[in-house]
Structure 1
Amino acid sequence: MPPIRTAHVVLWVTYALLVAVHVSSLLTGSEMLQRITQPMFAPLLIAVVLTALPRRTRTSALLVLGLVFAWAGDSLAGLAANAMQLIAVLSFLCALVCYSAALVPLWNRTRDTMRIALAIPYGGVVIGLFVACADGAGSMLPAVAAYAVALATMAFLSAGGNGLTWTGGTLFLLSSSMLAMDWFLPGASISYSGVWVMVSYTVGHALLIAGMLQSMPARRWTACRPGAALVIVEN
């Protein structure tokens, strides 16, 4: 196995282990460990993208930029201050815009009618959740409304990609919905909601990135093989 591919696999394994450690910290109530591990998710996924793709393309640039915004959101999401929550929402909003832009070419090439039909209820879920959370959002209402639109758009576009992006987008939608309930609907209690939010978020994020990588035509380890011919189609 080429060294670059070995590094890529190791990064995925490290990500899985980090998620397991973070979930364990949620179950045990270790806040220090939670604060250390959560900001490490996005950098690991950035390294996954960079070790997989042979050169910078529109898609890889959008994925990396989206992950940078996700890192900012992960770093601020655990802080209680309203200002920090607003910045976290705006950071995740920017991440969703980047992911949606990356998904558009894939959706145009491989959209599946059945998956698109199944994705239509996403809009209903997001609208219903927004209406329920509107009173609790207060001054953050405009940002929450923009986030809801971006979330529904990303989930819809992910459904028209491949199985991995579809599942990842759905889990991302589920995670954001539960987080919104935690933040803006205190009475809507879900047992172990923090655990379910992070499990669906981390797995969904990984599947979304993996699905986008699967859609790319070449890998760095393919380019490194002696005598291999490399043809790159810009995405």
Structure 2
Amino acid sequence: MPPIRTLHIALWTAYALVVVVHIGSLLVEAETIQRVTQPLFAPLLIAVLISALPRRTRTSTLMLIGLLFAWAGDSLSQFAPEAAQLVSVLCFLGALLAYSAALFPLWNRHRDPLRIALAIPYGGVVIGLFVACADGSGTLLPAVAAYALALAAMAFLAAGGNSLTWTGGTLFLLSSSMLAMSWFLPGASIAYSAVWVMLTYTVGHALLIAGLVKAIPARRWAPACRAGAALVIVES
């Protein structure tokens, strides 16, 4: 196995281990470990992306931008707890917009009717959740509305990509929905909500990135001529 592919697998393994440690820290309420592990999610996924793709493309650039926004959402809110909700909403809004732009060409090429039909309820879920949480969002209402629209669009486009992006987008939608309920819906109670939010977020985010990487068949460990030819076909 080429060393770069071994590194790629090792990075996925490291991501999985960090996620497991983070989820465990939520269960035992170890806040210090939570603060240390959460900012590591996006950098590890960035390293996974860089280790797989031999050259920069439009899709990989948008993925990188989305991951940088996600890192900001995971990290900056820790340094501004009084504005944590606003920081998280705005940062992940940027991530969702970048991922939607990356997913659109893939959705446009495939346009699987079944996946598109199954994705229609996503809009209903997001609209219903936004209406329920509107009163509790207060001054964050405009930002929450923009986030809800971006979330629905990303989940819809992800469903029309491949099975990995579809599953990842759905889990991302589920994670954001549970988080919105815990933040803005008075009286909403989900057992171990923080655990479920982070589990669906980390797994969904990883699957979304894996699906987008899969859509670009060129690999660093593949022969240069094959990788280049595949890239021309996909990106043209």
For Structure 1 versus Structure 2, the TM-score category normalised by the shorter chain is: over 0.9
Change (3 A) 1:146 1:77: same
Asked whether 1:24 is paired with 2:21, we answer no
1:42-88 alpha-carbon deviations (Å, 9 max, x no partner): 00000000010110000000001100000000113457744232121
Change (3 A) 1:78 1:133: farther
Per the alignment, residue 199 of structure 1 pairs with 199
Indicate if the aligned counterparts of 2:168 and 2:205 stay in contact, CA closer than 8 A. Answer: yes
Per the alignment, residue 162 of structure 1 pairs with 162
Indicate if the aligned counterparts of 1:53 and 1:219 stay in contact, CA closer than 8 A. Answer: yes
Q: Tell me, in whole angstroms, the C-alpha distance in 1 between the residues paired with 2:81 and 2:42.
A: 22
Matching residue's letter, 2:212: M
Change (3 A) 1:228 1:142: closer
Question: Secondary structure of the equivalent of 1:221?
Answer: coil
Q: Tell me, in whole angstroms, the C-alpha distance in 2 between the residues paired with 1:164 and 1:5.
A: 20
Deviation at 1:230, TM superposition (A): 3.1
Question: Secondary structure of the equivalent of 2:144?
Answer: helix
Deviation at 1:168, TM superposition (A): 0.2
Per the alignment, residue 209 of structure 2 pairs with 209
Indicate if the aligned counterparts of 2:133 and 2:184 stay in contact, CA closer than 8 A. Answer: yes
How many positions carry a matched residue from both structures?
Answer: 233
Change (3 A) 1:110 1:229: closer
Indicate if the aligned counterparts of 2:219 and 2:227 stay in contact, CA closer than 8 A. Answer: no
Where do 5+ consecutive residues of structure 2 fail to align? Answer: none
Matching residue's letter, 1:72: A
Q: Tell me, in whole angstroms, the C-alpha distance in 2 between the residues paired with 1:191 and 1:125.
A: 21
Equivalent residues in 2 for 1:1-150 (5 A)? 1-77=1-77, 81-150=81-150
Indicate if the aligned counterparts of 1:79 and 1:85 stay in contact, CA closer than 8 A. Answer: no
Could you list the structure 1 runs, at least 4 aligned residues long, displaced by more than 2 angstroms after superposition: 76-84, 227-230, 232-235
Deviation at 1:25, TM superposition (A): 0.1
Q: Tell me, in whole angstroms, the C-alpha distance in 2 between the residues paired with 1:136 and 1:85.
A: 12
Instruction: Give TM-score scaled by structure 2 length.
Output: 0.95
Deviation at 1:5, TM superposition (A): 0.5
Per the alignment, residue 151 of structure 2 pairs with 151
RMSD: 1.5
Change (3 A) 1:49 1:229: closer
Question: Secondary structure of the equivalent of 2:228?
Answer: coil
Task: State which of 206, 209, 230 in structure 1 corresponds to 2:228.
Answer: 230
Question: Secondary structure of the equivalent of 2:191?
Answer: coil
Q: Tell me, in whole angstroms, the C-alpha distance in 1 between the residues paired with 2:46 and 2:227.
A: 26
1:184-230 alpha-carbon deviations (Å, 9 max, x no partner): 11410100000000000000000000001111121011046xx8673
Deviates more, 1:147-156 or 1:75-84: 75-84
Instruction: Give TM-score scaled by structure 1 length.
Output: 0.95
Matching residue's letter, 1:42: A
Q: Tell me, in whole angstroms, the C-alpha distance in 2 between the residues paired with 1:57 and 1:229.
A: 13
